Structure 1
Amino acid sequence: MVNLSSKEKFLLEGEKYQQQLAIDKFNDFTLHAKDDNLKTLFSNLSKIEESHLNLIDEMLQGKVPLINNKSIHPYYESNTFNSNNYLSVGGMMLTSLDNNYSYEDGDKIICFDALTTEELLHYTYNISKSEFEKSEFNDIFEFIINEKNENIKYINEYMNKKGMYNNTIYF
């Protein structure tokens, strides 16, 4: 059992709050996305965020959660984003050869929102990690930060493959 300082509890409560916001957002994005592949992507991201929330809940209870370091993204069958020609995520395949660069403006807006959300979470976890650097929770923070990196890559790759960076977006 880990005894948490009031500052550590405060930071974990903040991460918990941000995680719940991300889950709610991604669940909402799943419902409102027009592209079925994007719905799958957001559904998977929501599951990943739920796993992060569970880790935070365990830490708040003073427990050191067990993590599976071998599987950074348990909800993705293949994290192949090395190729410029294709992206395979959770059973969906996007290729640059599809000639399907069309997307709904709403999908583009929620993708940018999702990207910003993941970048914010990545940042806050990095800040919190510095407080836990010499604790039993350091590896947990490192694990979550690595998953945030992967989430950002997947959203970016989806947006690249769909051509969402090729023109201006107006909010």
Structure 2
Amino acid sequence: MTRHHRTCDTAGQKNAWRGSASRLLRPILLFLVSISAATGCTAMSNADTSTSTEPFRDQQSTTEAKTQIGHWIVPEMTLADAMRALGARGFSCKPAEPASGKFQSSVLCLRSTPASPPPHQRITAPATPINWFVTLNSKDGALVTDFEVARTPREIGG
């Protein structure tokens, strides 16, 4: 009988240990699940770059800028949405005369790099200001057909 009594004690101790371990691990598991869910949601929201607020990089080539802007301005996007996307990144947009007869309307969006601080507040020579020009073209006056990107001064070799 003594032997049976030890077995019951051991089983009781095992159940008590399992209960304690379960109570200790449950908050840890909940924390890990919530972290992985939040990370997954963040990754999914970052996948749609057309609505992201990735800042425009002033220091890049025209080709690189066209690629970056191409993530925000997609074919058949409305002109209004394209203007909002560029406006959120520091561009000012206004209607312009279409450069070609094949477009019904065009919108010119401009962005200039910030002015350099005054001489007494800087250590180096001022950077050359860069002006960016994005032209949104539309065949029907409502949707973006294509866009062009230019800058002054032109990049070396550009």
Larger radius of gyration: 2
Higher helix share goes to which structure?
1
Higher strand share goes to which structure?
2
Structure with more contact order per residue of length (Cα contacts < 8 Å, sep ≥ 6): 1
- Provide the TM-score with structure 2 as the length reference: 0.28
